[in-house]
């Protein structure tokens, strides 16, 4: 999807995951199997799971988004994203993806688990985005931005529930 990175809106949201000694104490499958968004918001199909292998750059994810976020009685929108990078660092693991043509947003999202202190882990969603079409731009203040904020909060809480280490 064509866009200028300088024209994208940056947003960083985080949630604590509890006190642990090391990032190595967590199971990163939640991220790398894309179990980030609750099922009432989105279901998905990943290329790497379909091919029975690990995530790699260039892989695609087909997202089925529910509006409103009730999967049984909702409008179902289909979007695609492509894995841009995979992050395996001593204090940070995760991946980023870029939206494909036809997505409601244009931009890049990065999902990471990070060790921010001696015994503190966070889950972070770092996005650079803007509406992907004229309808998204027109609806941004009243629908798109509030819905995106809701989905981000739900994703943070969903990962926290799955990974929280007391």
Residue with structure tokens 């179902």? 76
Encoding tokens for residue 78?
Answer: 């289909």
Residue with structure tokens 């985080």? 14
C-alpha–C-alpha distance, residues 14 and 49, integer Å? 27
C-alpha–C-alpha distance, residues 115 and 102, integer Å? 35
Sheet holding 42-46, edge to edge: 9-16, 120-131, 105-117, 92-99, 75-89, 60-67, 42-46
Per-residue pLDDT tens, the chain, 166 aa: give them.
666 777 888 999 999 988 666 788 888 999 999 999 999 999 999 999 999 999 999 999 999 999 889 888 899 999 999 999 999 999 999 999 999 998 888 899 999 999 987 778 999 999 998 876 766 666 666 667 788 889 999 999 999 999 876 5
Peptide bond into 68 cis (omega under 30): yes
Encoding tokens for residue 3?
Answer: 């866009």
Could you state, in order of their start, the residue ranges of all structural domains in the chain?
5-163
CATH number of 5-163: 3.30.530.20
pTM recorded for the entire structure? 0.91
Helix, strand, coil share (%) of the chain residues, nearest 5 = 25, 45, 30
Q: What is the DSSP letter of 132?
A: S
Count of all residues that appear for the chain in the document: 166
């Amino acid at each position: 999807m064509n866009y200028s990175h300088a024209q994208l809106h940056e947003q960083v949201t985080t949630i604590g995951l509890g006190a642990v000694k090391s990032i190595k104490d967590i199971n990163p499958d939640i991220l790398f199997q894309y179990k980030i968004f609750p099922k009432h918001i989105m279901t998905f199909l990943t290329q790497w799971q379909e091919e029975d292998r690990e995530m790699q750059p260039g892989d695609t994810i087909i997202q089925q988004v529910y509006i409103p976020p009730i999967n049984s009685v909702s409008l179902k929108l289909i979007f695609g994203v492509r894995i841009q990078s995979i992050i395996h660092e001593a204090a940070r693991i995760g991946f980023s993806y870029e939206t494909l043509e036809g997505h409601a947003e244009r931009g890049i999202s990065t999902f990471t688990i990070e060790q921010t202190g001696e015994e503190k882990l966070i889950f972070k969603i770092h996005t650079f985005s803007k509406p992907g079409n004229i309808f998204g731009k027109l609806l941004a203040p009243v629908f798109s931005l509030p819905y995106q904020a809701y989905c981000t909060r739900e994703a943070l809480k969903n990962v926290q529930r799955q990974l929280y280490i007391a």
